[in-house]
Amino acid sequence: MGYYEEEDLNRFPEIGKHRPELFEKFMAWYEACQADGALSRREKALIGFAVAHAVQCPYCIDAYSQACLEGGSNMEQMTEALHMASAIRGGASLIHGLQAHNSVNKVSM
Amino acid sequence: MVPALPFLNPQIEVARAPNRFDEKLTSHSLELRASKVETLQVNVGKLCNQACKHCHVDASPARTEIMTRETVEQVIGALRQFRFPTLDITGGAPELNPSFRHLVSEARDLGTHVIVRHNLTVMFDPGQSNLPHFFREHEVEVVSSLPYFLEQQTDAQRGQGVFHKSIEALLRLNAVGYGVDGSSLVLNLVYNPVGAFLPPPQASIEADFKRELLTRYGVSFNHLYTITNMPIKRFLDYLRRSGNEERYMRKLVEAFNSHAVEGLMCRTLVSVDWTGRLFDCDFNQMLELGVAPELPQSIAEFDPLKFASRRVMTGAHCFGCTAGAGSSCGGAVVNSL
């Protein structure tokens, strides 16, 4: 058995086997988040796609790649979203360099 | 209905059995019966100058199946006798049938609204360069496939070089008045997904096409129809080769929308193949799934009363027309999910 089997994506409802009331609450919230609102379905799919890469979830990357295509986005747009997620991740690492600066400065003359 | 993302798939059996679609209808207390026949859709042959990867007809330059003049005359006879409001001509590239222009002219003389499913690039075949003028002269409604407003996606589906030829053809149609403001000449485009996924919302992608085609190429058009790729012939071959068949069928079944059933094209259309045989739609035609056996089987025997409330023959492919916003030769069949 390998990790991250593609077919496991369709087994997600099995998570509701134990404590189903918690899973049902999650599902209701999740579905409400998907609905068209102040943001369109396409915009939400691109956000989901970017976040999926930031959290490095292969299931989410698969699902939201499809959702982006079915929202009318193309690879140029999806790649820009990917770079946004990656840039923020990179920036988040870099800004922590100040923690190092602070730490070094604290013990340096 | 909230559009379910694949992440949230419930446990759904993949519909393979031919009766699975009927079972789905029954579970929603629905029955698929035709209403009055408004459109006679005629496939005049499988000969085409292109060999698109998603083609449910399996059309190509190598195909020899083409409607004879005798059968074309039978179609014209039916138009004359039964006065169908609309004649929808498809193929292949229908313009490659030697009797194509005769059929269009006769139908227009009868006052029939004529739609031609024109692939754009056939305009550059020998003897076809005056097609825009022919269409204009006969006030034909032109419906043309352009799967995306970018070259890479379009050529991936329709063949290398097709995108730029298509843009040139669209400009020629615009030049004679098709799809431009203030003109009554209608030019509609068709979006097909370039792969194993469903179309985006029609209004949303139409706005993208209008903006991008105008700003990038100066092309205008009237409406964009989103049409779902059918798991038939060449697209089914692609699904199997790429390992996407089960996943795609699951997607179609999961996206079943009972509200799309009322607007299905088979309820108001009868399809004629190149031999004159009758079908409930062009997809059934390619599967050789004829109209119900109790009905007349050829255009020469057509009877509008018998067809008006006929039961429609179905199969697993019908999930393609009921997925999401639905799909027909006129695009999505419901406005929102």
DSSP secondary structure, B80-127, as one string: HHH--SEEEEESSSGGGSTTHHHHHHHHHHTT-EEEEE--SGGGGSTT
Q: Is residue A3 a part of any domain in this protein? A: no
Alpha-carbon distance A65 to A46, whole Å? Answer: 8
Of A18-27, A83-92, B19-28, B271-280, the poorest mean pLDDT is in B19-28
Beta-carbon-side half-sphere exposure of residue B19 (alpha carbons within 13 Å): 3
Average pLDDT over residues B248-270: 93
Of B17-21, B30-34, B286-290, the poorest mean pLDDT is in B17-21
Q: What is the pTM of this model?
A: 0.88
For B13, name the nearest residue in chain A, comparing CA atoms only.
A10
Structurally, chain A folds into a number of domains equal to 1
User: Are the CB atoms for B41 and B283 separated by under 8 Å?
Assistant: no
pLDDT of residue B328: 80
Alpha-carbon distance B311 to B32, whole Å? Answer: 6
Enumerate the residues of chain B whose CB falls inside 8 A of the CB of residue A20.
none
Q: Is residue A38 a part of any domain in this protein? A: yes
| Nearest residue to A36 via CA among B291, B133, B204, B198 | B204
Instruction: Kindly give the residue spans of alpha helices, DSSP state H, lying in B28-94.
Output: 69-82
Of B5-9, B17-21, B323-327, the poorest mean pLDDT is in B5-9
Report residue B13's pLDDT band, with 50, 70 and 90 as the boundaries: very low
Enumerate the residues of chain A whose CB falls inside 8 A of the CB of residue B331.
none
Helices (H) and strands (E) in chain A, counts: 5, 0
Enumerate the residues of chain A whose CB falls inside 8 A of the CB of residue B208.
72
Nearest Cβ partner for B204 among A62, A69, A72: A72
**Percentage of residues in chain B having pLDDT higher than 90:** 88
Q: What are phi and psi of B225, to 5 degrees?
A: -100, 130
Indicate the average pLDDT of chain B.
Answer: 92
| Nearest residue to B327 via CA among B261, B272, B279, B239 | B261
Q: Is residue A43 a part of any domain in this protein? A: yes
Alpha-carbon distance B186 to B259, whole Å? Answer: 28
Residue B247 has pLDDT above 80, yes or no: yes
Alpha-carbon distance B275 to B70, whole Å? Answer: 10
Residue B14 has pLDDT above 90, yes or no: no
Average pLDDT over residues B118-135: 97
B159 touches chain A (CB under 8 A): no
Chain A interface disruption, residue of B5, B202, B250, most A CBs within 10 A: B5
Structural element, H or E, at residue B141: strand B141-145
Structural domain range at position A72: 9-107
Query: Which pLDDT tens digit goes with each residue over A80-107?
Result: 999 999 999 999 999 999 999 999 999 9
**Percentage of residues in chain B having pLDDT higher than 70:** 93
CB contact under 8 A, A31 and B204: no
pLDDT of residue B12: 44
Alpha-carbon distance B26 to B314, whole Å? Answer: 13
Report residue B49's pLDDT band, with 50, 70 and 90 as the boundaries: very high
Dump the DSSP string for B201-270: PHHHHHHHHHHHHHHHH----S-EEE-PPPSSHHHHHHHHHTT-HHHHHHHHHHTB-GGGGGG-GGGTEE
Domains belonging to chain B, first-starting first, are 35-242+262-307 (3.20.20.70)
Enumerate the residues of chain B whose CB falls inside 8 A of the CB of residue A16.
none
- ipTM attached to this prediction: 0.77
Per-residue pLDDT of chain A (109 residues; tens, 9 = 90+): 678 888 888 899 999 999 999 999 999 999 999 888 999 999 999 999 999 999 999 999 999 999 999 999 999 999 999 999 999 999 999 999 999 999 999 999 9
Average pLDDT over residues B136-165: 96
We report the CATH number of the domain holding residue A90 as 1.20.1290.10
pLDDT of residue B293: 96
Average pLDDT over residues B129-157: 96
Q: Is residue A55 a part of any domain in this protein? A: yes
Q: Is residue A4 a part of any domain in this protein? A: no
Q: Is residue A44 a part of any domain in this protein? A: yes
Average pLDDT over residues B165-191: 97
pLDDT of residue A1: 67
Strand partners, B87: B40, B114
For A57, name the nearest residue in chain B, comparing CA atoms only.
B7
Q: Is residue A1 a part of any domain in this protein? A: no
